[in-house]
Amino acid sequence: MKDAGTSALAGQIAVVTGAGRGIGAAIASALAAMGARVVLCGRTRAALETTAGSIQNGGGRCAVMECDVVDLRSVESVAERVDRTFGRLDILVNNAGVGTFGPPLHQLDPDDWDRVLNTNLRGVYYCIRSFAPLMIRARSGHIVNISSLAGKNALANGASYSASKWGLNGLTYSVAEELRAHNIRVSVICPGSVHTEFSPHTGRNADKMLQASDVAHAVAMIVTQAPQSFASEILLRPTQKP
Backbone dihedral region of 107: left (phi > 0), alpha (psi from -120 to 50 degrees) or beta?
A: alpha
Let me know if 173 is a catalytic residue: no
> Which entry of 125, 126, 161, 173 is annotated as an active-site residue?
161
Q: Give the closest residue to 144 by CA, choosing from 219, 230, 75.
A: 219
* DSSP structural state of residue 219: H
The alpha carbon dihedral of 32, 38, 43, 45 has a sign of: positive
Alpha carbon distance 16, 93 (integer Å) = 5
User: In this structure, are strands 61-66 and 184-191 parallel, antiparallel, or unpaired?
Assistant: unpaired
Alpha carbon distance 151, 17 (integer Å) = 19
For helices 159-179 and 110-117, the axis angle rounded to 10 degrees is 30
Contact 27, 36 (CB under 8 A): no
Residues with active-site annotation: 161
